[in-house]
Amino acid sequence: MAPRANWKGYLKLSLVSCAVALAPASTSKDKISFNLLNRKTGNRLRRQMVDEETGETVDGHDQVRGYEIAKREYVTLEDSEIEKVALESTHTIDIESFVPRAQIDEMYLDTPYYLMPDGKVAEEAFAVIRDAMSRKKVVGLGRVVLSRRERIIMLEPRDKGLAGHTLHYAYEVRDSKEYFDEISDVKVSGEMLDLAEHIIEKKITTFDPTRFEDRYQDALIALIKAKAGHKPAPKLEAAKPTNVINLMDALRRSIASDTKPKGAERPARAAAKSAGRSPSKTARTTPPKPPSGAKGGKRLKRTG
């Protein structure tokens, strides 16, 4: 059964509209979560809202939202007042414009959703909007109110429905120059680039998300199972890399070694076995021969 939609309303393109439902495309329900306990009694702890001045516990009916306009001076808003800020996007996703998908920087993508028609009556109009977008090879941009906040949403055809992605506003995405401007302009030798490209070439594959296990989750499961069975916790070794002293030597040794990251996979496989799960198999590759003409190396000073 498909997850229940967390928003229902209308999809609108000019004068064409149809009832739709929006549901999260990702989930965290299978992630390990913890409860806070009293170490002495083993009982669960419950959070309480406390008045920071009096130290007294404040019940729900006495709690109100406030916005600080000056130090310790607040404007209070009741939930009923907030709900009256009824933008059209509270109940309607109006597609305002269309752009080529390639024009949307991945840094703006936030949360993924699935959008589908809500009922048989809505299917024809929904299909017209979806198929027209598909033929024009564009994505639609609109707005939707989720969790009391209006978000930009990008819609693109996907199978029989539409995939939606809420987008960050421009002020939410930091300028990369803040982080990259101080990086020096390094001139890399063609020989080093050839070696690095050779390593990359041997690792090129097709994207398959099932190849990536949640190794931290597996390790937690193994730890919990061990403690529940009164057994020693499994030992996981995670080697910490250091800065390379001789870059050319490191590139050569990378080519000579097996391209499969054996050491990185061992902890996950050990944890998965302890948890009673079968780790995914990764095809072994034949060690490639270094490109002809690779000789001589330049020693680099240790940095960092």
Distance of CA 132 to the CA centre of its chain: 29
Query: Where in the chain is CATH 2.40.290.10?
Result: 7-25+84-170
Listed residue (177, 150, 165, 125) closest to 16, CA to CA: 125
Q: Give me the pLDDT at residue 233, please.
A: 80
Residue-averaged pLDDT of the chain: 82
pLDDT digits 0-9 by tens, 141-178: 999 988 878 999 999 999 999 999 999 999 999 999 99
Q: Give me the pLDDT at residue 28, please.
A: 80
The helix or strand, by DSSP H or E, that contains position 263, with its residue range, turns out to be: helix 262-274
pLDDT digits 0-9 by tens, 102-152: 999 999 999 999 999 999 999 999 999 999 999 999 999 999 988 878 999
Q: Give me the pLDDT at residue 114, please.
A: 97
Dihedral (C-alpha) 23, 91, 98, 13: value to the nearest 10 degrees? 110
Rounded distance between C-alpha atoms, residue 196 and residue 194, angstroms:
6
Mean pLDDT of 36-43: 93
Hey, what amino acid is at 113? Y
User: Which of 118-122, 214-218, 286-290, 295-299 ranks highest by mean pLDDT?
Assistant: 118-122
Rounded distance between C-alpha atoms, residue 280 and residue 206, angstroms:
16
Q: Is the pLDDT of residue 296 over 80?
A: no
3-state secondary structure of 288: coil
Q: How many residues does the chain have?
A: 304
pTM of the complete model:
0.67
3-state secondary structure of 172: helix
Burial of 93 (0-12, 13-18, 19+ CB in 10 A): buried
Token look-up 């990086």 returns 183
Pairwise pLDDT comparison (241 vs 297), residue with the higher score: 241
Please, what is the Cα angle at 158 between 110 and 28, to 5 degrees? 45
CATH classification code of 7-25+84-170: 2.40.290.10
